[in-house]
A and B are shown apart, each in its own frame.
Chain A
Amino acid sequence: MKILVINNDGGGFADYVDVADGTTVAQLFERQIGSTKPSHYLIRVNRQPCPADQVLCEGDRISITPTKIEGANS
């Protein structure tokens, strides 16, 4: 099934991704971000907070936004 993943880490890319039926939010996070702690990110499914074991559905919109984003001075 196809879902929309918006990764606001680094480049801020948005892509439609094919995932297997039954994929959970935690599994998708690991696939997209890797071993970084999920607590360092705001993860929203269809703009709502979600549990790690929530199973994704066709057409879901998942956004992953780091909680720590470093600004600069120039």
Chain B
Amino acid sequence: MTRQQRLLMRMAIAIHERLHSKTTRDKCVALPAATWQRCETLNRKLQRATQRGWNVATNRLNHDLRLAVERLRLEVAELDHGLRPSGREDRIATVGDIYSDLVALHDEFEDVAFNLRQRTLSVTTEAIELDSVYLGPFEIRLDWTDLLEGHPSNYRVIAVDPKPAAANESVTHPHVQDEAVCEGDGHQPIRKALERGCLLDFFLIVANLLRTYNSGSPFVSLSDWHGVECADCGSTVCDDERWTCEKCETTVCGECYYNCPGCDGIFCNECTTRCEGCDDNHCSGCMKHCSRCDAELCQGCLNDNERCSDCHDQALEEEAEETESDGSSHSRDDADAPIQPHRVGQVAVPA
């Protein structure tokens, strides 16, 4: 046996011990002592009642003892079932299986590394490229301290040559964020492989998951991998600085978005209009036309008659002029009026 083989064997034994100790711990079940105790008590009472000829009590205690024995029988059956070798344990990998997996990993992956003290085993994939986006190789590092219940936090996927999404540096793969894989369809087979101690299957499944792109559910889609352009200034926008126009749904950066003062909505430059009154950009829904000059203004810059301030002033001037001209015409009419006009309210009353 070579040094490498001896190391792999020690590793296989250590992993198997971890798997086996867990299943042995699972088997420590409670005996039905309380139910047995109740049976003994009822039996003593029944003997006493029988000896003393208490027929009613004897019948009731006999009934209670039957129920207690029935319960004891069920608990013993349950205990028996729990102690039998389960299907799961039957399929838990042997030391030989784990050793064979460790050897086979070297055939499947170029780089395999393990650390007995830290209880880690890792493989490195080839450089992965999805839809012409280069993501680089990934190290899949498994902590085998608790294979049965550690999933999914017991393994990490580490980008060896990180090419993260421009919008989010923690996303190194469409389905990997902060070194954690969102397993999707792979969840169940990964969990099963770890429960059984099938290490080769585990690494193959995770590697195949990394080689697959699910466009329906990525952390960052590959089409946006190199960043999303601001529709207004053309700069690359990261997630924190990303705004979406509520009208045309284009992406704009924090420098280019407009917050409409009328409705508080977010809009791009294209979807807003500058109010001629206050010079603020408003969305089309919050803009109106002056009823006189047709100028575009926000609601705040139109008066109650839907007129801009210029038209309002102009209308007041015109009204004043009209009043003035009306006043002068009235004074001409008054020239012909009697010097002592009839008093207001005076009406000629027939005699």
Residues of A in contact with B (beta carbons under 8 Å apart): 6, 8-14, 42, 44, 46-48, 63, 65-74
Is B303's beta carbon under 8 Å from chain A?
A: no
Is B282's beta carbon under 8 Å from chain A?
A: no
Which stretch (B1-9, B66-74, B189-197) binds chain A? Answer: B189-197
Which residues of B sit under 8 angstroms from A48, Cβ to Cβ? Answer: 104, 107
Is B211's beta carbon under 8 Å from chain A?
A: yes
- B200 and chain A: residue at smallest CB distance: A47
| A71-B104 contact in complex given A11-B192, A13-B192, A65-B201, C-beta closer than 8 Å | no
Is B205's beta carbon under 8 Å from chain A?
A: yes
- Per the bound structure, the CA–CA distance linking A6 and B205 in Å amounts to 12
Within the complex, which residue of B101, B196, B198, B208 is in contact with A69, where a contact is CB–CB below 8 Å? B208
Is B234's beta carbon under 8 Å from chain A?
A: no
Which residues of B sit under 8 angstroms from A10, Cβ to Cβ? Answer: 185, 188-189
- Sample of 17 more A-B contacts, CB < 8 Å, known A10-B188, A65-B204, A68-B208: A8-B189, A8-B193, A11-B192, A12-B188, A42-B204, A47-B107, A48-B104, A48-B107, A63-B200, A65-B201, A71-B175, A71-B185, A71-B217, A71-B218, A72-B175, A72-B183, A73-B177
A-B contacts, 25 listed (Cβ < 8 Å): A8-B189, A8-B193, A10-B189, A12-B191, A12-B201, A12-B205, A14-B196, A42-B204, A47-B107, A65-B189, A65-B205, A67-B211, A67-B212, A68-B211, A69-B184, A69-B205, A69-B208, A70-B185, A70-B214, A70-B217, A71-B176, A71-B214, A72-B182, A72-B183, A72-B184
Is B186's beta carbon under 8 Å from chain A?
A: yes
- Per the bound structure, the CA–CA distance linking A10 and B189 in Å amounts to 7
Which residues of B sit under 8 angstroms from A69, Cβ to Cβ? Answer: 184-186, 189, 205, 208-209, 212
| A11-B205 contact in complex given A47-B200, A72-B182, C-beta closer than 8 Å | no
Is B164's beta carbon under 8 Å from chain A?
A: no
**Contact across chains for B198 and A6 when beta carbons are under 8 A apart:** yes
**Contact across chains for A73 and B219 when beta carbons are under 8 A apart:** yes
- Per the bound structure, the CA–CA distance linking A53 and B255 in Å amounts to 64
Which residues of B sit under 8 angstroms from A42, Cβ to Cβ? Answer: 204, 208
